[in-house]
Structure 1
Amino acid sequence: MVCAVRLATVSDVPGIGTLMRASAAELFPLFYTAHQAASAALYLTEPDVTLIEDGTYYVHEAGGAIVACGGWSKRNKLYTGSGTRSDDGRVLDPATEPARVRAMFVRHDWTRRGLARAILSACAEAARDEGFRSLALMSTLPGVPLYRAFGFSETRRTTVPLPDGVELDGVEMTLDLLT
């Protein structure tokens, strides 16, 4: 039994981290080399407490475990693992800048059940309610099919540099919230 999507709390952080690492361990090797997948599992799976504190991060639970998570941000940081920049915490201007979709993960045995789509819907609705006109994200390859199916358009293909020098293929994507 799956609970409805709900806002994450700080007490969810350990479960979110566990889910992120499990999801990356199962899904990333299907799209990246073993070395890339191991690096991604290390650097892209640290829960961002700022998203939780901002009230923009969601989870799904089943049997007391978090099986899906993800959210959006009104701040400038595009993705976890991108390093620290002085303007990461800057609040975005909803009239001129897109909100950021961040840290979407689903446990491998819970994929293809609509959980990520429900989280994306909650993100789009909340961002729209705060005046944002669009969403932007940096997708790793496992997420691209989901985002395309949800209506995101590819902006450009790029590489995602990780702190240890490993690079992952990534796709920048956007979604217009006004249509």
Structure 2
Amino acid sequence: MLRTATAEDIPATEELMRASVLGLFPDFHDPAETGAAARFITDLDRDLVADGTYYVIEEQGELVACGGWSRRAKLHTGTGHTHDDDARLLDPATEPARVRAMFVRPDRTRRGLARQILAAAESAAQAEGFAELVLMATRPGVPLYRALGFVVVEETSFATPNGVRLECTVMHKPIG
């Protein structure tokens, strides 16, 4: 069941995010990168929940997938890599909506859960006047996003607070 996340979902969502990183990152990242990601990119941005743009999927009362979109400038989740204008509201006429904090429990991958969340995010962003989506993908997500029509804008990386660099891919997709 796909639904909008609530504040009560935050602890379980962050637990799901960590489980996803710990289960999926080792196929794409070394142990130091996986550990840094589990520590620093699994803190849910509370603005997503407060804005009503973050979704969870439940199966038998357990969260198995989460993710959403944002009308704010911040491009990625986690701690230690913030910018002064992260909370700034985007202009739908000139800027793309952000796809944010997509995670699936490792034992539930390849079942269309992330696709469901992305379809809901795209529809909601389009309803608010956005014509494009942009995201910063970690390595495990790139194949999914490519399959859904996202194209690579640039390869980049960022340093976590403990100095470990995580490679990411900025990707873009027109809505519709």
Question: Common fold, TM-score beyond 0.5?
Answer: yes
Shift of residue 102 of structure 1?
Answer: 0.4
Residue of structure 1 in register with 2:21 after alignment: 24
Residue of structure 2 in register with 1:35 after alignment: 32
Give the whole-Å Cα distance in 1 for the aligned partners of 2:85 and 2:157.
21
Residue of structure 1 in register with 2:65 after alignment: 68
**Secondary structure, in 3 states, of the residue corresponding to 1:164?**
coil
Give the whole-Å Cα distance in 2 for the aligned partners of 1:149 and 1:114.
12
**Gaps in structure 2 of 5+ consecutive residues:** none
Residue of structure 2 in register with 1:103 after alignment: 101
**Secondary structure, in 3 states, of the residue corresponding to 2:119?**
helix
1:60-139 equivalences under 5 Å are 60-81=57-78, 83-139=81-137
Give the whole-Å Cα distance in 1 for the aligned partners of 2:92 and 2:26.
36
**Secondary structure, in 3 states, of the residue corresponding to 1:92?**
coil
Aligned length, in residue pairs: 175
**Secondary structure, in 3 states, of the residue corresponding to 2:135?**
strand
* Amino acid in the other structure paired with 1:126: A
Identical-residue share of aligned pairs (%): 54
Residue of structure 1 in register with 2:162 after alignment: 164
The one-character-per-residue Cα deviations of 1:60-113 (angstroms, maximum 9, x if unpaired) are: 011211000000000011111362222110000000000000000000000000
The one-character-per-residue Cα deviations of 1:3-27 (angstroms, maximum 9, x if unpaired) are: 2x11000000011011001000000
Candidates 34, 59, 63, aligned match of 2:56? 59
After the TM superposition, which of the residue ranges 103-112 and 81-90 deviates more from structure 2? 81-90
Residue of structure 2 in register with 1:147 after alignment: 145
**Secondary structure, in 3 states, of the residue corresponding to 1:127?**
helix
CA RMSD of aligned residues (A): 0.9
Residue of structure 2 in register with 1:46 after alignment: 43
* Amino acid in the other structure paired with 1:68: A
Give the whole-Å Cα distance in 1 for the aligned partners of 2:83 and 2:106.
32
Give the whole-Å Cα distance in 2 for the aligned partners of 1:128 and 1:84.
26
Residue of structure 2 in register with 1:7 after alignment: 4
TM-score (norm 2): 0.97
**Gaps in structure 1 of 5+ consecutive residues:** none
Give the whole-Å Cα distance in 2 for the aligned partners of 1:71 and 1:161.
24
Shift of residue 160 of structure 1?
Answer: 2.5
Shift of residue 157 of structure 1?
Answer: 1.0
Shift of residue 158 of structure 1?
Answer: 1.2
Shift of residue 35 of structure 1?
Answer: 0.4
